[in-house]
Amino acid sequence: MTSLRAVTRPAERRPSPGDVPQPRGNMIWVGHGGGMVGWGLAASQTFSGPDRFRQAQEWFDSLAAASTIDDTVQSPGTGLAAFGTFSFSDESADASTLTIPARIRGWNEHGAWETLISPAEDTAQSDEIEEPEPIADFGRVVWGPGEVDEDRFIDAVAETVEILADGDIKKVVLARDIAIVSERPMDERLLTARLASAFPSCWTFCIDGLTGATPEMLASVRGGHLKTRVLAGSWPTTGGHEAAEYALRSSAKDIAEHRYASDSVLHAIDLQASGPVRADGPTILHLPNVVHLSTDFEADLAPGWTGLTAAGAMHPTAAVGGTPTDLALDVIARIEGLDRGRYAAPVGWMDAAGNSDWALALRCAQIDPTDPHRARALAGGGVMDRSVPQQELAETEAKFSAVLHAFSRPTA
């Protein structure tokens, strides 16, 4: 087992994505009063299959136990920390990853810090920082249908509505994808800066090329205390926020959709909690492009559970899969026609002290690791027996707008 040495010290100023010296291959997490930016590579591992969350936790725990941590800051994210993305499906061609950067700069309400991570045998850690490459715009950006175009998505929704009429399945979440092509290579730093500015109430991330701004937190853990936010049921704000909120509160379909998602998460948390689970919601969460029904849950984790294993136990929630889970996933596999990759799966970070943030990878795009001019974005919605295919298509358009506006305005 590799052993590492992590040294964390206070820093004078809050970092930004612009501090990262390279345009790609970065680890960035920003939101809710804090964040971290990381670059370089100290260690990395990939995982796959239905046991990928446990595999990842065990790998990180073993590495942390074998490593030396010198941390004078003692705050969430300091010391030895890893960033991760996980595949939606057990059978996905995309591997799940945990990456420990060689350098991390972070901040929260208590101040800023910097962590240097290197092999344990390297007694002299370099604190030299290479000059950042200039952040460059993408030039002309175009996008169009991916594997699932609009007509195919509408047909898939209609077919799913017919299946739901039998009554055995209550909800199925269907997604579609678009392909994005830029004139110049995509710069992760510019994407994350734009997303963080446009969606300050979300968690903005860039990990292993997966870049987005998500409003949905699966498992945020501090000192063994778990917080989860469930979003399901949404309405585009094209007619204004007040009208969207009224429509959402009046929609029996969206209210039922939210109840299924909340119940699935509550059941999972009940199995992990050492005491009562507290719930707050549903309330309305306003984002620039859409409003959501939102419920927050809190609980103390029972011994043996971590943020990552809790997120793995919840995944996939009814918000991104459906109800009942197994039957809904079978419909997705037969009708959707996509390998979702890491879309709608846990993305986030963890530290050796047990703190972590694992959100759902939504409103995001995966930059092609072999061609930085190309990216793939996905968006989806919950299909119920009362769903109207054109309305479900409009919901995906509203969700795509979040990441597309971070790339560019449409060009004629």
Residue ranges of domains in the chain: 4-120+139-407
Terminal Cα-to-Cα distance of the chain (whole angstroms): 54
What's the rounded Cα separation, in Å, for the pair 109 and 143? 39
- To which H or E segment does residue 286 belong? strand 278-286
Query: What was the pLDDT predicted at 19?
Result: 83
**Contact between residue 236 and residue 395 where contact means Cβ atoms under 8 Å apart:** yes
- To which H or E segment does residue 31 belong? strand 27-31
368 HSE (CA, 13 A, CB side):
13
Provide the b/e sequence for 192-219 (b: ≥16 CB within 10 Å). bbbbbebbeebbbbbbbbbbbbbbbbbb
Provide the b/e sequence for 301-336 (b: ≥16 CB within 10 Å). beeebbbbbbbbbbbbbbbbbbbbeebbbebbeebb
Residue type, 379: A
Query: What was the pLDDT predicted at 132?
Result: 79
List phi, psi (to 5°) of 292: -125, 150
What is the 3-state composition of the chain as percent helix, strand, coil, each rounded to the nearest 5?
30, 35, 35
Query: What was the pLDDT predicted at 239?
Result: 86
Q: Residue-wise pLDDT tens for the chain (412 aa)?
A: 689 999 999 999 888 877 888 999 999 999 998 999 999 999 999 999 999 999 999 999 999 999 999 999 999 999 999 999 999 999 999 999 999 999 999 999 999 999 999 998 876 666 666 777 888 899 999 999 999 999 999 999 999 999 999 889 999 999 999 999 999 999 999 999 999 999 999 999 999 999 999 999 999 999 999 999 999 999 989 889 999 999 999 999 999 999 999 999 999 999 999 999 999 999 999 998 899 999 999 999 999 999 999 999 999 999 999 999 999 999 999 999 899 999 999 999 999 999 999 999 999 999 999 999 999 999 999 999 999 999 999 999 999 998 999 987 443 3
Query: What was the pLDDT predicted at 412?
Result: 36
Query: What was the pLDDT predicted at 387?
Result: 93
Please choose, from the candidates 234, 282, 284, the residue with its C-alpha nearest in 3D space to the C-alpha of residue 254: 234
Collapsing DSSP to helix, strand or coil, 217 comes out as: strand
Domain 4-120+139-407 has CATH 3.40.630.10: no
- To which H or E segment does residue 160 belong? helix 150-164
Query: What was the pLDDT predicted at 134?
Result: 86
Rounded to 10 degrees, the C-alpha dihedral 48/54/58/64 comes to 100
